[in-house]
Structures are given as C-alpha cells and as structure tokens.
C-alpha cells in the first residue's frame, strides 16, 4: 500500500492559497449552493443591460442552469435593467445623459423539496417608473416579454423607485 | 453589434452580428434606413443568424422597419432570417411577432422567396 505523504506546504496555513475554496461537507455544500448569490450594482447607463447579461450568464452557468432557461432569464433581466435605465432614470439616446442612480440586481437559487431549483432575480432602481400605459413604442413588448420568460413577475413601483422580482421556472438539480 | 452590408444584384443583405439591445438597436435601424435608400426595387434581407441576443428594442426596430417598408415606402416586406437554434427565435415567438414578421431559416430561402 503506498504511503500517504502530505504534499509540501499542505499544513502550512501561511502559504494557504486563498483563492481555493476549502472542501465542503455535504450539508454545507447544499447550503453554499443557495448561498452563492449574485449581486450587481450598475450605473444607469445604456450599457448596463449588457453588463447585467454577461454577469448573469456566468452566474447561471456556475449554477449549471440549463441553456434554454438561462436564455429566458437573461432576456427577462436585461429587459428589467433596460426599463430601470430608460424609464426609472430617464436615460436615452436623444436626451441629455445624466448618470442616474444605481440599478441593483440580486440573484439567489432556491431549492424546492423535490430537489428542483428556481432562480429569484430582483432588479431595484430608485427612479420614477412610468406606468405601462405611458410606455413609448420601444417598450411595448418589454413587460409581456419578461412575463413570458419566468414563472412569476412582480413589479412594485412607487415614487421612490421600482422593484422587479422575477421568479424562474423550476429546473432540475445540477447533474 | 456589427452590421455588414452585402450589395448583391438580386438583393441587399444586411448581416447582423452580436447583441441587439437598447444600446445597439438604433444602429441597426440606421443601417436598415440606409439600405432602404439604395434598394432600387431589390428586396432587403436582414440576416440575424449571428445575433446572440435580441431584446424588445431590437424587436421594435424589426417591427417598425417592416411596417415602414410596406406602409411608407411601398416596398415589399422586409425579409428576416433567423436560425432556430439561437436565442433570437424565442423573443420573436414569445411576443407573437412570428405571425407578423416575414421569417426565413436561411439567406438562400429568403432570396428564393
């Protein structure tokens, strides 16, 4: 039987590689799975949706989200961030561009009793949301599109800002 | 997002590459408008097979451009090429625009149309 010898430095904490996550117990592994949150704070700029898509895509890939469902969530979050930028803060191509307040995107993965998972994405701005009836032509498809991409969509708008909560369809546990 | 213009004897084909969102959709609209000025009776084909994202601003550009062709310029309708495996078909179908836009699976099909 080969002898097990620790590699040099394995027990030397001063040399510990802080980029490596220590091994998790099974219980911690399942909790860490839902603890791996997405948090983004974006400036209200026309490029914000693109940044949100990119980061969300990586986060979902990290959670082994199925590709088709990933596309739907990316579409929905992109629309929500666009709305925050264009309506919440009034940033548009033709208008004088004033850097608006931040758009915050938060994501968690929630496990269901049967092992399936859902992602819950929240998009928050502190601008002044226009009611859907006031939407200009280029936003007409935004809300219905968001709604079709997720299980549930809630939009909470006040004078102080808007919170959009997107709850995804359930997907299988990671393979 | 990039738009390539292919000026052919039988058609003008705009090849779109990348993401079409609020930031880039106006450039697509400008490219389509420029193409409308030089059609001379040829059909305009917009090829979306290399598009990796299509949001509502892009959908609106496609819809507005299609309407402009027929209702304002008296052209035949805009021909749009989509690849079924891409995340481009999904928003088109979710919004019901597949019943409104004239879609093809390939540029070849669009040119035969």
Give residue-wise pLDDT tens across range B30-75: 999 999 999 999 999 999 999 999 999 999 999 999 999 999 999 9
In chain B, whose CA is at the least distance from the CA of A86?
B22
Distance of alpha carbon B66 from alpha carbon B75, whole angstroms: 9
> What are the b/e assignments for B6-41, b being 16+ CB within 10 Å?
eeeeebbbbbbeebbbbbbbeebbebbeebbeeeee
How does pLDDT run across A20-70, given as a tens digit for each residue? 445 545 554 454 444 489 999 998 888 999 999 999 999 999 999 999 899
Contact between chains at B56 and A71 (C-beta distance less than 8 A): no
Instruction: Say what the ipTM of the complex is.
Output: 0.91
pLDDT(B13) > 50: yes
Closest residue to B19, CB basis, from A46, A50, A139: A50
The greatest distance separating any two alpha carbons of chain A, rounded to the nearest whole angstrom, comes to 76
Residues in chain A: 175
In this complex, the residue of B19, B55, B97 whose CB is nearest that of residue A79 is: B55
Which residues of chain B does A144 touch, with a Cβ-Cβ cutoff of 8 Å? 94-95
Inform me whether the pLDDT recorded for A92 exceeds 60. Answer: yes
| Residues linked to residue B48 through DSSP beta bridges, in sequence order | none
Look at residue B102 and tell me whether its pLDDT is greater than 70.
yes
In this prediction the pTM is 0.81
Closest CB to A75 among B22, B26, B55: B55
Domain CATH for B12:
3.30.750.24
CB-CB neighbors (< 8 A) of B21 in chain A: 49-50, 78, 82
Residues in chain A whose Cβ is within 8 Å of chain B: 46-47, 49-50, 53, 71-72, 74-75, 78-79, 82, 85-86, 93, 137-142, 144-145, 148-149
The residues, ordered by sequence, that sit 6+ positions from B38 with a Cβ below 8 Å of its Cβ are B7, B12
The domain of B95 spans 2-49+56-80+88-112
Residue A72 to residue B26, Cβ atoms within 8 A:
no
Residues of B with Cβ-Cβ distance to A66 under 8 angstroms: none
Which chain A residues touch B90 with a CB distance below 8 Å? 71-72, 75
Count how many domains chain B has.
Answer: 1
């Amino acid at each position: 039987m080969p002898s097990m010898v620790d590699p040099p430095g394995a027990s030397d904490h001063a040399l510990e590689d802080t980029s490596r996550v220590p091994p998790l117990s099974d219980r911690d592994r399942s909790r860490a799975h839902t603890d791996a949150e997405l948090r983004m704070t974006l400036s209200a700029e026309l490029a914000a949706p693109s940044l949100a898509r990119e980061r969300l895509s990586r986060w979902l890939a990290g959670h082994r989200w199925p590709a088709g469902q990933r596309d739907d969530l990316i579409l929905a979050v992109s629309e929500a961030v666009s709305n925050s930028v264009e309506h919440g803060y009034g940033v548009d191509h033709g208008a004088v561009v004033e850097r608006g307040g931040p758009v915050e995107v938060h994501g968690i993965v929630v496990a269901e009793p049967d092992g399936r998972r859902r992602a819950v994405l929240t998009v928050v701005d502190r601008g002044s949301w226009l009611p859907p009836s006031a939407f200009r032509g280029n936003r007409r498809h935004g809300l219905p599109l968001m709604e079709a991409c997720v299980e549930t969509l809630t939009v909470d708008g006040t004078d102080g800002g808007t919170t959009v909560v997107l709850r995804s369809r359930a997907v299988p546990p990671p393979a | 997002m990039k738009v390539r213009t292919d000026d052919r004897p039988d058609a003008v084909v705009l090849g779109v590459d990348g993401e079409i969102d609020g930031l880039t959709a106006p450039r697509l609209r400008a490219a389509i408008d420029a193409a409308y000025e030089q059609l001379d009776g040829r059909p305009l084909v917009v090829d979306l097979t290399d598009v990796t994202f299509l949001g509502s601003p892009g959908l609106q550009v496609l819809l507005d451009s299609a309407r402009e062709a027929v209702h304002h310029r008296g052209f035949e309708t805009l021909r749009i090429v989509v690849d079924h495996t891409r995340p481009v078909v999904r928003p088109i179908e979710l919004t019901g625009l597949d019943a409104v836009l004239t879609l093809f699976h390939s540029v070849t099909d669009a040119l035969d149309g």
